[in-house]
Structure 1
Amino acid sequence: MTTNTSHPSLDVDLPTDSVASPWIFSLAAVGAVWYIILWALSILGCQTGRRRYRNRPRSPLASAASFSVPGVSVLRPLKGLDTNLYENLESTFTQEYPSFEVLLSVADERDQALPIVRELMSKYPHVDAKIIVGEEHVGENPKVNNLIRPYRQAKNDILWVIDSNIMSTPGTMARAVDALQGHDRAGRKIGVVHHIPFAYAPESRIGSRIDEAFLNTNHAKMYLAINAVAIDSCVVGKSNMYRRSDVERVNGSRKPLEQQGSVDTPRGLQAFGKYMAEDNMLASAIWHELGMRHDLSCDVARNVVGKMTFMDYVHRRVRWIRVRKHMVLLATVLEPFTECILVSAIGAWAFHWLFNFSIPIFLLLHYALWIYVDLDVYNSLAGHPLPESLRWEFMLGWAAREILTLPIFFYAVFGNEVQWRGTRYEMLWNGEVKLANQGSTAKRWWHWIRQPPKGYEAVNGSAPP
């Protein structure tokens, strides 16, 4: 008599495990590697902030003779009464630099910023300052249109373009000129000096606190890390310094000059009026077309955040994401996978599967260390620890920002329209921008659906609502 010793259940289970395990192992390994890479970038950004911003020496150019330093033309495009406008503009008049001029431009002679400008010019008569009224239309970007005239009328080759909501310390200009005259580690000439935004919210508004927490922690950390790695251009245009002679050579194609041939395309600042993010496109053109590099000085662009509501913050983040989507699609798609909550989920699952690490303990360590690094970045940029009076508001803003990241991203990534200073624009795939049709997308679709078919004649002359 023969005994059957086979185990049918094993015959079924083993093939399933042998197929599934390699796939799960591969996904877990990729997740663990990605988690380690993100932490490496976070630590790099943190260390870069410590090294660069916790020691801000005085530049020798600040006390040099005027004939021995390159002149600087400060271009400040203005529109309306931004928060803290008087103090923002005054910080330009009080720069410790022996040779500079200030060009303040407005599109309309009735602009509300003009009385403040005239008051500052009376207060600092020794500063070479000039008001320029009237824009020149070279594209849909109103900032570029406002800058064209001062750009052409500037006396000096070095231009420092600063947004109206930015305040700078007295030594910023001298240190930026120092950096602009330098070279990178490979000996390549510096073509752009930019300043990392540091948000300051003088009033407790929910949108302001969320934006403050975002700019001063995660955004700053990744901005510093990407610029430290320096594999490509990454510039925010709140406060940038460059040479007009360099700008006049680029056209925004981002192809090296020797590969452009004899194509007759506009060059100079006017070539960037068709882009929404003209700051990043200009910096990228200097990087790729001229082979120059960028540098961060040891100063921040102190961005004074006004009375920002919750929806103001949402609209601002939506605008940033949609603009970036049309400029750097891959980086935008990967952006959610660099955020705290999603990264924690990836890391917890990967390390649990690979090493049987406790998920609750992993998440507790992750969030504690992530917050520690973010606050350390804040300390470096601010020059002091987070004040106790703001601690709870700031941390609530930080938590709200992290929770809102994915919902805002998914809402933003599936649209192409942005709103900037009351005007609605449509983003194009090459980074250019055009004026959008009036009304929201939903309203335009509803209007289109409600349109009568061709040849329709309304009864009694009435029209559909």
Structure 2
Amino acid sequence: MSGQDALPSDLWRISLSTVGLVWYTVVWSIGLLGCSAARKRYRSRPRSPLTSASSSSVSGVSILRPLKGLDTNLYENLESSFKQEYPNFELLLSVADENDQALPIVRDLLAKYPAVNARVIIGEHIVGVNPKVNNLIRSYSEAVNDIVWVLDSNVAVAPGTLARAVDILERPPSSDPTLARRRIAVVHHVPFAFANQLTLGARIEEAFLNTNHAKMYIAINTVAVESCVVGKSNLYRRSDLERVDGNLKPQTSGSAVSQPGERGLQAFGRFLAEDNMIASALWYELDLRHDLSCDVAQNAIGNMSCSDYVWRRVRWIRVRKHMSLLATLVEPFTESIVLSAIAGTSLRYLTGFPLWAFLPTHFLCWILVDLDVYESLASYSLPPSKRLSFLAAWLARELLALPIWLLAIFGDEVEWRGKRYQILRNGEVKRAGGGGVGGWFRWGARRELDQYQRLDHA
């Protein structure tokens, strides 16, 4: 090969290596931002003045908890709603079936806390394929307050969580035009997982939610350039939700009245990830914003096998693929193993720095950042007795990330609560039939753990 032929080839490799190092720097910057924001937000939780205010001086809140079956830690999860330090709230606990196994626990708590304005609502209203939305419709319709707080049944919250969330929701927009801060429409809480059963899948899920997921979730919400909300614990206004329908098209003056179609919660029964779509609709259709509280949604993880973990991740990657394709395609290049291969190869080509020296440094720094995020969310240091098992689960999560993504990206069908769905545009779903290319990638999906699964099916 002549020198003239080698020059373009070298230039091409230099360019690719430079891009690789720039991308490495960008991803690290996002991770460090998430770590720094977690330290500032979660290591101290001030007491809200609303906790000691009179009931007539604060906004009323309706807490909605959709239930199905005996979730892990269900009694403690539901009891945390009864113990909220807020002077003006009602608690609506809804089940679709009068024989649901959660009802005895609900009735025990109603008897234990007679002073709390709480009641159970039995019966669902079918508005779409999403069982959670169907279960919530009656509670949502019967709620007496404009502010609603939707809490999953596998989540527990600290007593001051509601008061601090209302503080944020009612915070006035900034008057400084340079800040361009719009009104807050959703207050949400980052999940903090704890595995109370020592199964492999539960440990991996715990490591994932408390490190990589939390780090990226907090970073994205800190820069606030895009809607990014999961639905474990969300606070919003019904008056806002009744103005949107999930088409994600900005509304102009009067357009909400002129456009036909369903609005409010029932309009989101066609989505599998209704939580994310509600937040996105408020963001894009009404040009409103979201904010994270300094509290976490304590997510109890039960008997989850490694297969359960894999198929749960596959499900949500396939949903996200139809909601944000570009972000989903980029995802593998933000994971530590693929990223280290890109950066290590680029650095070696440009500077001659050996891979054997770069890779251990990369992974050591990466896990130290992840551990720091974990400890910020937990508000305590990881006990030495738990560090070895955590590191093993963390390593398993990192090794599984790319295979899970490859499995998920080729396919459009998922198993959820014992039913098979086909994912459509924007995360809409329909009941799936048999056959098709997507069926090639469904093997094992029926073993996926259902967070709302009845005990006798576990």
TM range (shorter): over 0.9
Query: Where do 4+ consecutive residues of structure 1 move more than 6 Å?
Result: 439-445
Task: Look up the match of 2:354.
Answer: 358
Instruction: Name the SS of the counterpart of 1:282 in structure 2.
Output: helix
Q: Distance in 2 between matches of 1:160 and 1:388?
A: 36
Task: Look up the match of 2:272.
Answer: 276
Instruction: Name the SS of the counterpart of 2:323 in structure 1.
Output: coil
Task: Look up the match of 2:34.
Answer: 45
Give the letter aligned to residue 418 of structure 1. V
Q: Distance in 1 between matches of 2:8 and 2:276?
A: 47
Q: Distance in 2 between matches of 1:417 and 1:268?
A: 27
Identity of aligned residues (%): 61
Give the letter aligned to residue 180 of structure 2. A
Q: Distance in 2 between matches of 1:103 and 1:219?
A: 30
Q: Distance in 1 between matches of 2:94 and 2:196?
A: 26
Task: Look up the match of 2:64.
Answer: 75
TM-score by structure 1 length? 0.91
Contact 1:424 1:438 in 2 (8 A): no
1:139 is the counterpart of 2:139: no
Task: Look up the match of 2:189.
Answer: 195
Which range moved further: 432-441 or 384-393? Answer: 432-441
Deviations 1:406-443 (Å, cap 9, x if unpaired)?
Answer: 11110111011111122221111232101112589787
Task: Look up the match of 1:126.
Answer: 115
Structure 1 pair 134/441, CA: closer, same or farther in 2 (3 Å)?
farther
Deviations 1:329-372 (Å, cap 9, x if unpaired)?
Answer: 10000000000000001111111112222221111110110000
Task: Look up the match of 1:155.
Answer: 144
Give the letter aligned to residue 370 of structure 1. W
Q: Distance in 1 between matches of 2:52 and 2:343?
A: 52
1:304 is the counterpart of 2:300: yes
1:338 is the counterpart of 2:327: no
Give the letter aligned to residue 292 of structure 2. L
Q: Distance in 2 between matches of 1:313 and 1:342?
A: 21
Task: Look up the match of 2:15.
Answer: 26
Instruction: Name the SS of the counterpart of 1:108 in structure 2.
Output: coil
Give the letter aligned to residue 239 of structure 1. S
Q: Distance in 2 between matches of 1:271 and 1:429?
A: 15
Q: Distance in 2 between matches of 1:161 and 1:440?
A: 36
Task: Look up the match of 1:97.
Answer: 86
Instruction: Name the SS of the counterpart of 2:2 in structure 1.
Output: helix
Task: Look up the match of 1:322.
Answer: 318
Contact 2:77 2:156 in 1 (8 A): yes
Q: Structure 1 residue aligned with 2:211, among 214, 217, 227?
A: 217
The offset of 1:376, in angstroms, is 0.1
Task: Look up the match of 1:458.
Answer: none
Task: Look up the match of 1:463.
Answer: none
1:405 is the counterpart of 2:394: no
1:429 is the counterpart of 2:419: no
Task: Look up the match of 2:222.
Answer: 228
1:254 is the counterpart of 2:248: yes
Give the letter aligned to residue 97 of structure 2. D
Structure 1 pair 439/115, CA: closer, same or farther in 2 (3 Å)?
farther
Residues 48-63 of structure 1 mapped to structure 2, 5 A cutoff? 48-63=37-52
Instruction: Name the SS of the counterpart of 1:377 in structure 2.
Output: helix
- Which structure would you say has the larger Rg? 1
The offset of 1:263, in angstroms, is 2.2
Instruction: Name the SS of the counterpart of 1:407 in structure 2.
Output: helix
Give the letter aligned to residue 292 of structure 1. L
TM-score by structure 2 length? 0.92
Contact 1:74 1:162 in 2 (8 A): yes
How many residues were matched structurally? Answer: 434
Deviations 1:274-330 (Å, cap 9, x if unpaired)?
Answer: 000000000000011111100000000000000101111011000110010010010
Contact 2:202 2:301 in 1 (8 A): yes
Give the letter aligned to residue 206 of structure 1. L
Task: Look up the match of 2:454.
Answer: none
Deviations 1:29-54 (Å, cap 9, x if unpaired)?
Answer: 11010000000001000000000000
Gaps of 5+ in 1: 1-11, 446-465
